[in-house]
Amino acid sequence: MKRLAAGFGLLALSLVPLQGAAEKSIFSEISPAELALKADPLQPGADAVVLFQSVFSNHRDGYEEFHTRIKILTPEGRRFADVEILHIEGVLEVTQLNARTILPDGSAVPFEGEVFDKLVAGDRDGEVLFKTLAMPAVEVGSIVEYRFRLERKAYFPPLPWLIQREISVLKGRYSVKQMRHASRSRTNLNWSYRLPEDSVLELQDDGETRVLEIDNVPPNPEEAYSPPGDLPGYHVRFFYFYSKLTAETIDAYWAEVAIRLAEEEEDFIRDDKGIDGVVRSLTEDSAEGRLRALYTHAQQLTNLDYEGPTTLKERDRQDVKRNRGVDDVLKRGYGTGGDINRTFVALARKAGFDALVVKVRSRREGLFLKNLPDDSQLDTPLVRVRLGSSWLFLDPATRSCPFGFLPWDSAAARGIAVLDPDSSAPIYVSTPAPESGGAATRRRFSLELREDGSLAGSLHVEFGRQQSLQRRLSAVRLEASNRGQMLIREVERSLPAGARVELRGTSGWDLAEAPLAAQFDVELPGVAVSTGTRLVVPLNFAGADRAYPFQRSSERVNPIHFSYPWQEIDEILISLPAGYAIEDFSSDSTLSGESVEYRLAASEEGGRLRVDRFLRVEGTLYQPEAYPRFRRFFRLVKNGDDKYAVLQREN
């Protein structure tokens, strides 16, 4: 089903007849080439292809016009004949909706059926709906065509052009007519985009319309490990700005944002008694000790973003109020993540530290686009504080986040520093890139191999700081028993089917600075395979859930994005059954490079089989050109993991 994400609008709930009778004058002629087309030249075998797509964004008169012509190439492609247009009651209204089917012989069947309103969500404040229609008489070789207008009934930001779709677009024409004056300060139309090279929005003779013509756009492939973002593929998004967008003006925009935010911060971070009390109570001598004490204090505040009541009614009942300043936060003991980080800044400053709030875009949501003057990108407040000669980025609002460490989505993130207007420091900030050492999970198995091929013994897991933090956050609202179950399920997934796992103990759930660790008793039936006189032990029995990405040979289009770099460190000791000795085992595997490393080694240690495995992957973002190397690396890792040791029964 094709949902036009760009479409919004409203029709009354009743069914609306279409203007099928007028279709001849509304749609242009279908060309013989379009009728004759049998396959998508850009993607042979595709189910359908967009022959023509146009969007006219008339910001001046408050509407957008869409026109789409799709050729159905396979029976599966008929799904593109079911059309859904998103609209919003009282904000964007669908008008002038016309549709038709062109049969393979060139004759037209106007759409005269019913259009349904499918409610996405509605409450007292309004409704978001899909206008839904099924095109008639569609067969392979047909062309479905529809056009409609979305008229603004209330303010709604300019809609983006979504140029790349799940099927190829052979011909596209996009035009925008700019508003005269969006507001007193925002008068110039600007745009940010992801487009093929040399694509230009040409200014027309009227001096106020720009046109982009772009043909032969292949589909945007869905690829694992693609960077996050709300608009994948080629697109253009519009915004109004007080001047033309240049390097200078965009810097000026973010400087303006920084100043505005600074005013808000300063208003919140007022010097008052509460701060004095906390700072006076510090007993630590060293600067770092004092800063850590303040950090711990801030961490003990309740973060309403993921703790405390979940509904507005509960907040009302519990008299949870909006904090107006640091004093409120300290008195009430709670706040949003932003409140808590601002409070920490206030405390740090009072204690003599140079501290300020920075705002970045969470990498969970997307990458910060400097050239997009939209301050809603800045969704994550952090703290930057000077300790000695270096700057630290901290996030005391995140429960259990160790001092000097950041959750993965805030690390290697970009944004701006909320600066004093007189400051000459740079506005833009990037938080430190994470290193694999901050996400190193160690597993130690001590097992006994039985003659029936089963393994039994203990497993000790120590999660890296990043993995510990993520698990602690997942478990914020979980009871102790469910936390245990969460870890048991995780271990079960890593072991062969039928494994029995019992949790013996955990530590570090509530300690930010210590790793989360757990001990298990495990029993793994049927791991070793008997070949008659021998037992063969696979060395990768504890990697059932291991991901070996990039096995496909397709050409990579999108960059590669890892949430965070990581390490896997396994140490396995296996006692042999009585009467068996190690006869042979696989050679060691070693791979190393600047950003990746892998080692697997089997050895005999005091009559036991010892296996050491190490994997390291650095970095978070790579260009598509790196794909073949990553593919080869993970293929070699998979190959390296697929190793054995052979035990021979002694006579």
**Is the CB of 173 or the CB of 629 nearer to other proteins?**
629
**Is the CB of 160 or the CB of 640 nearer to other proteins?**
640
107 binds other proteins (CB under 8 A): no
Site string for other proteins, 486-525 (x = CB under 8 A): -----------xx-x------------------------x
**Is the CB of 88 or the CB of 278 nearer to other proteins?**
88
588 binds other proteins (CB under 8 A): yes
Q: Which stretch binds other proteins (CB under 8 A): 88-96, 296-304, 309-317, 351-359?
A: 309-317
With beta carbons less than 8 A apart as the criterion, state whether 419 and 356 touch: yes
**Is the CB of 22 or the CB of 120 nearer to other proteins?**
120
**Is the CB of 200 or the CB of 224 nearer to other proteins?**
224
CA gap 312, 608 in Å, rounded: 60
CA gap 626, 420 in Å, rounded: 41
548 binds other proteins (CB under 8 A): yes
* Measured CA distances, 198 to 31, 169, 195, 212, 433 (Å): 28, 18, 8, 11, 32
**Is the CB of 503 or the CB of 514 nearer to other proteins?**
503
Strands 2-4 and 82-88, sheet pairing: parallel
Find all residues with CB under 8 Å of 18, minimum gap 6, and list them. 97, 98, 99, 110, 111, 112, 113, 115
Strands 108-110 and 161-162, sheet pairing: unpaired
CA gap 601, 611 in Å, rounded: 6
Residues 606-635 contacting other proteins, CB under 8 A = 618-619, 622, 626, 629, 632-633, 635
Structure tokens at 516: 């989360």
With beta carbons less than 8 A apart as the criterion, state whether 504 and 552 touch: no
Q: How far is the CB of 103 from other proteins (least distance, A)?
A: 10
Structure tokens at 382: 């952090």
Q: Which stretch binds other proteins (CB under 8 A): 18-26, 119-127, 176-184, 238-246?
A: 119-127
SS3 at position 519: strand
Q: How far is the CB of 105 from other proteins (least distance, A)?
A: 14
**Is the CB of 80 or the CB of 520 nearer to other proteins?**
80
With beta carbons less than 8 A apart as the criterion, state whether 609 and 645 touch: yes
Q: Which helix (H) or strand (E) is 130 found in, with range? A: strand 126-134
Residue 154, classified by CB atoms within 10 Å of its CB into exposed (0-12), middle (13-18) or buried (19+), is exposed
Structure tokens at 2: 């094709």
**Is the CB of 331 or the CB of 635 nearer to other proteins?**
635
Q: How far is the CB of 482 from other proteins (least distance, A)?
A: 6
Q: How far is the CB of 130 from other proteins (least distance, A)?
A: 8
Residues 260-299 contacting other proteins, CB under 8 A = none
474 binds other proteins (CB under 8 A): no
Residues 133-172 contacting other proteins, CB under 8 A = 134, 136-139
Q: How far is the CB of 163 from other proteins (least distance, A)?
A: 20
Residues 38-57 contacting other proteins, CB under 8 A = 43-47
482 binds other proteins (CB under 8 A): yes
